[in-house]
């Protein structure tokens, strides 16, 4: 009886961890310790940073900047390319740090509208995927039926973006899956 109880507790824990990793939301601090500034080494800074991240719907994007020194505005690609604020998507965020929830898949473009900051490289393009289960990483994982929302146009991910930054959450996830097999 006692060991059965123990089994139940362990099973409950595994289930809890598993549920949490299915719903896991990653927080991405743009530029990491660099923050959201005019990048010293130019636009490549945020291109490189973004290529090391895996963005999924529901994740948080933190633009860490000093209020009144920078801001954040989401724009369409054309405005991003020309560093213009025309056709903004949503409202400009003037208070830093800014915490943005990624609510839709596809390409997202952000610029700073101060002076010539964008021209100097303070701009970020990211590709957000719809499903939390990255293709090929764990084929045995039961995939929630979110893949239906994946649009064909979302394949513009840089080829070098095999996600090294999956982190502890993924390890925990895998562990709970493996443990789940024993119970």
Ligand X SMILES: *[C@@H]1O[C@H](CO)[C@@H](O)[C@H](O)[C@H]1NC(C)=O
**Can you say whether residue 131 is alpha, beta or left, with left for phi > 0 and alpha for psi between -120 and 50 degrees?**
beta
- Between 99 and 147, name the residue whose CB sits nearer to ligand X: 99
DSSP H/E element including 128: strand 123-129
- Shortest Å, Cβ 27 to Cu ion: 21
Out of 27, 86, 145, 155, the only residue in the binding site for ligand X (CB under 6 A) is: 27
* Contacting ligand X within 32-61 (CB under 6 A): 35, 60
The answer to whether residue 29 forms part of the interface with ligand X (CB under 6 A) is yes
Could you say which of ligand X, Cu ion, none residue 64 binds, taking C-beta under 5 to 8 angstroms by partner kind? ligand X
Cβ atoms of 36 and 70 closer than 8 Å: yes
The answer to whether residue 105 forms part of the interface with ligand X (CB under 6 A) is no
Give the phi and the psi of residue 136 in degrees, each rounded to 5: 90, -15
Cα separation, 66 vs 50, in Å, equals: 21
The answer to whether residue 62 forms part of the interface with ligand X (CB under 6 A) is yes
Give the phi and the psi of residue 159 in degrees, each rounded to 5: -60, -25
- Shortest Å, Cβ 45 to Cu ion: 13
- Shortest Å, Cβ 151 to ligand X: 25
The residues that touch Cu ion, with contacts defined as CB under 5 A, are 70, 112, 114, 117, 122
The answer to whether residue 64 forms part of the interface with ligand X (CB under 6 A) is yes
Cα separation, 74 vs 70, in Å, equals: 14
Tokens, residue 71: 């801001």
Which residues here bind ligand X, judged by CB under 6 A? 27, 29, 35, 60, 62, 64, 97, 99, 101
């Amino acid at each position: 009886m006692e060991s059965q109880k123990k089994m139940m507790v362990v099973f409950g824990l595994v289930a809890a961890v598993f549920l949490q990793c299915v719903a896991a939301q990653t927080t991405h601090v743009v530029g990491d310790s660099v923050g959201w500034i005019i990048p010293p080494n130019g636009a490549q800074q945020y291109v490189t940073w973004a290529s090391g991240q895996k963005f999924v719907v529901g994740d948080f994007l933190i633009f860490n900047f000093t209020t009144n020194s920078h801001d954040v505005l989401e724009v369409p690609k054309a405005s991003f390319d020309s560093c213009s604020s025309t056709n903004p998507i949503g409202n400009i965020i003037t208070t830093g740090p800014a915490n943005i929830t990624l609510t839709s898949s596809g390409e997202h473009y952000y610029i700073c509208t101060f002076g010539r900051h964008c021209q100097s490289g303070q701009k970020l393009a990211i590709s957000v995927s719809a499903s939390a289960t990255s293709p090929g990483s764990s084929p045995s994982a039961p995939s929630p039926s979110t893949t239906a929302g994946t649009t064909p146009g979302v394949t513009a991910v840089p080829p070098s973006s095999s996600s090294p930054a999956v982190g502890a959450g993924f390890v925990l996830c895998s562990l709970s899956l493996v443990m789940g097999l024993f119970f």
